[in-house]
Amino acid sequence: MKLFSLRRLLFSAVLVALAVLAVPGSRLLRYYMTHVSTDDAYVDATVMMIAPRVQGTVYRVYIDDNYVVKAGDLLVELDPRDYAAALAEARAVLENARQTVDQQFAAVASAESALRLFQSQLHQAQLDYARAKALRQAEVVSQDYYDHALTALKVAQANVALGKQELERARAALGLSLDDHERYARPIVRQAEAALTAARLNLSYSKIYAPLDGVVTHKTVQVGNRVQAGEPMMTLVPWHNLYVTANFKETQLTDVRVGQEAEVEADIYPGYVYRGRVDSIALGTGQAFALLPPENATGNWVKVVQRVPVKILLDGPVPRDKQLRIGLSVEASIDIGDTRGQLLTSTLQQQHHIPPPGTAILK
């Protein structure tokens, strides 16, 4: 009798336990049926290499490793004296070009005045020749007088032709348009203005500013260094553009779509969950883009489950006391309940209104 009572008691305890565990158990089962997870995930970001656009000698350095900077902060300053001298030279060249244009305008005005003089002389020579011709026909003047009048007419005609050629040469040197509002719109001036703009830009490039908010890492520049254009001096990591790269197994991606909700838990902050969304799914496995991709067309090929990178963007700003860092290990979980999203686009692409692949762009 006691044994029977004990069995009933144990059976009742089991039923109570099953009833208690039914709700969380069903939730856990539903979670595993509607979620895919991986611990092959890490924090990533698009880091920016800071490099000078011109060569020069480092004059001042205003930052150090792990400095937090904002967009527009001055990072490094190169010796500006060489570029300041080049700017002064470019200004002088521009002023000389404008003086040349003024001289060309003066040459055109002088050629026009000379042509008017020659035309007046031609008019007088024509009158003298007509008079000499009439007098010669009446045999009033000598042949010598008539020859001098004819010679003077030919000389005046030649001077007019020469004056026209000089005027054309002066106008060709200046250009076709002679309007005052386009006085310095000449190739020689525009070339000098372009050189001045380039010199002014080079001088401005001697000061290197932070292009965005971030943290300075891998600083290699020191005062006195001679740097070349494009030579990396430091790396800037944007703390507000961090994302997660999760490498899911190919068998887990059947129902993964862009825009699905995701949860991320970092090993550095156990128990805290970051919320995010799937931004995009890579179009190739990690091994396909490796430096030495596997050669599968060999006799000793062994099938291995591949992993595909999935980019997860975090929702909202990260708490100040839960800051993430590039390379941290995380665990990512994706809710695959909603499969209406796309596979070959990203949420960032949709926000920036960039056409998806294969869309014709009409110009």
Query: Quick check: is 7 in a domain?
Result: no
Query: Quick check: is 363 in a domain?
Result: no
User: Please, which pLDDT band fits residue 15 given cuts at 50, 70 and 90?
Assistant: low
> At 190, is the secondary structure helix, strand, or coil?
helix
- Percent with pLDDT over 70 in the chain: 85
* 290 DSSP 8-state letter: S
Check whether residue 118 and residue 140 sit in a common domain: yes
Check whether residue 140 and residue 281 sit in a common domain: no
Check whether residue 283 and residue 182 sit in a common domain: no
- Checking if the pLDDT of 80 tops 90, the result is yes
Look at the chain and report how many structural domains it folds into. 3
- Checking if the pLDDT of 6 tops 80, the result is no
Query: Quick check: is 268 in a domain?
Result: yes
Query: Quick check: is 249 in a domain?
Result: yes
pLDDT, greater one: 182 or 26: 182
Write the single-letter amino acid at 173. Answer: A
Check whether residue 100 and residue 111 sit in a common domain: yes
Check whether residue 228 and residue 275 sit in a common domain: no
Last residue of a domain, which of 233, 250, 279?
Answer: 233
Query: Quick check: is 165 in a domain?
Result: yes
Check whether residue 307 and residue 336 sit in a common domain: yes
Instruction: Identify the pLDDT of residue 181.
Output: 60
Structural domain harbouring 102: 82-202
Instruction: Identify the pLDDT of residue 341.
Output: 81
Torsion, Cα 196 201 204 206, to 10 degrees, reads: -100
* Average pLDDT of span 199-207: 96
Reported as a single tens digit per residue, the pLDDT across 231-273 is 999 999 988 889 999 999 999 998 899 989 999 999 999 999 9
Check whether residue 104 and residue 149 sit in a common domain: yes
- Checking if the pLDDT of 47 tops 80, the result is yes
Q: Which residue, 236, 211, 206, 237, is CA-closest to 60? A: 206
Query: Quick check: is 62 in a domain?
Result: yes
Reported as a single tens digit per residue, the pLDDT across 299-332 is 667 788 889 999 999 998 888 889 899 999 999 9
Euclidean distance between the first and final Cα of the chain, in Å?
Answer: 92
Check whether residue 210 and residue 76 sit in a common domain: yes
Domain of residue 218, CATH code = 2.40.50.100
Instruction: Identify the pLDDT of residue 363.
Output: 36
Check whether residue 192 and residue 216 sit in a common domain: no
- Percent with pLDDT over 90 in the chain: 50
Check whether residue 44 and residue 192 sit in a common domain: no
Domain of residue 161, CATH code = 1.20.58
Check whether residue 187 and residue 48 sit in a common domain: no
Rounded Cα distance, 121 and 108, in Å: 20
* Average pLDDT of span 54-78: 95
Query: Quick check: is 317 in a domain?
Result: yes
Query: Quick check: is 257 in a domain?
Result: yes
> Other C-beta atoms within 10 Å of 242: how many?
20
Residues listed for the chain: 363
Domain of residue 238, CATH code = 2.40.30.170
Which of 54-63, 127-136, 160-169, 276-285 shows the lowest per-residue confidence on average (mean pLDDT)?
Answer: 127-136
